[in-house]
Amino acid sequence: MKKIWLIGGAPLAGALIAAGCATYPDAATTRQIAEKMVHESFTASPAHAKRLAQDRSQQICSKIDGAPLTQEEAAEVVRLARASIRYPDSGKLMGDWKRGDKLAHNGAGDRIRRGKVEKRKENGALCQNCHGLAPGEINVGNVGPALTGYGVQRGTSEAIVKLTYERIFNPWAFTPCSNMPRLGANRHLTPEQITHMVAYLLDPASPINKR
């Protein structure tokens, strides 16, 4: 009897598994359910909750299981990124490298401290968190490529200055969904601050370009 029960139960178990698979939500529904759970469980202030709202580019880049972008999705991310880029009113894209140096090592701004978003007159860029910077610096990250000698390698032509500015403002215009933050597009840095970052990377007098 026991053997008969096992044999007879196998089709039933298979049917139950098949039914379970058939009713499992698709990727889009699973994502909606997950996002709803996150929003409902987030009890911080409304100002903090705004950080949960994804823009269109973030929605495209947040694919389940890290699925690769389609050509159409990548093109849309690039298009949106290009459209986000703003330039300083002065029209000058290369500022003061000394101010850029300070920004590159400053992580202040937009942090949540004691339940409140930190308010600063000027946010920092904290480039050192992910990049090697001036020669000899050891308190730097390696998530991104080293920027040591950036200007020495590229020069300071108008095209390079513009390219560098745009890459800092919104790197997704060049590498869709990259790990580098969209410092200008998300308004963490102002266009003027980004000009100082450009100068830090390109000015021959900047410590980043010293041998």
Q: What is the pLDDT of residue 22?
A: 56
> Residue 66: pLDDT band by 50, 70, 90 thresholds?
confident
Each residue's pLDDT tens digit, 16-29: 555 555 566 787 78
CA-nearest of 144, 163, 145 to 202 is: 163
pTM comes to 0.80
Q: Which fold has domain 86-209?
A: Cytochrome Bc1 Complex; Chain D, domain 2 (1.10.760)
pLDDT tens column, 157-211 = 999 999 999 999 999 999 999 999 999 999 999 999 999 999 999 999 999 999 8
